[in-house]
Structure 1
Amino acid sequence: MNAVPLDPDSKDPIYDRYHYTRYYLEDGTALSFNLTEALKIEVDLNGDKGPNKYGRDRFIYYLCFKKMDYFNYGAGTVLFNIPKAGLYPDGYGVKNRNGLLNEHNRGCNSNNDQSCNGAFCTGLIMFDGWEIKDDYNW
């Protein structure tokens, strides 16, 4: 695994804004890390190759260091009711599938044009028992 600093000429607004450290695995998967109140971990299944969309080839997890009622990451609340320290998918604690699919900013819905659209897909896959259901529209 090689640590690769963010390319200063990158046009990706998500990576530019939060100054991630990125690691590439031999299969091309990219892992990106950013530390706030929790460690944000982004997994991009095919590295820099497209489409680079949440819920399609890019998935978000948070390593939480303590129990929290909620965690907000600047683009809306991303986690709810964290029971203890641990690794949680974006959207953890959303109470139902409809919320994970249709939340305005982060819902797992390819018809939404928000910048974080699809971020809750990670939580949806967990909610569905780590299975991709027929209504997963990516």
Structure 2
Amino acid sequence: MSEGPRQGMRPAFRRWRAARPFWGGLLLALGGAEILVTEKASLKVMLHTGAQGLAGYLLPTLMLVLGLLILFNPAQRLFYSITGVLLSLGTWVTSNLGGFFIGLLLGVAGSCLAFGWLPDQEPRRSRRQRRREAREAKAALDQAA
């Protein structure tokens, strides 16, 4: 059987996903989308009610955009995640209690995950492992001498 194009896409997607705070950005974007879905009134009605009505659409839209920015520009994740958590908390007042708590919680959890994500680092070694490696290196030098 020949290897199809989908076989090569899965490892590529895994590498892309591992290089960014994927779940944090996804949850923040989903939280913004969920809050937008819970908005019932049309945009014309919201524009007539004033700034408070417009904020009901503006905050979740910005949450959605910030979630996508976290996914596609992870270098700025700290700013995006702090802004995301503030916008998520702001939807409590402006957007049906933050999309009936679901969008609010998704946005806060996603922002926290994105804030806490660290790029690839060298794996941490315990003190015992470092001592063992030092003993092995010393033994190798003793044998070479």
Normalising by structure 1, report the TM-score.
0.24
Higher share of residues assigned helix: 2
Specify the structure having the higher radius of gyration (Cα).
Answer: 2
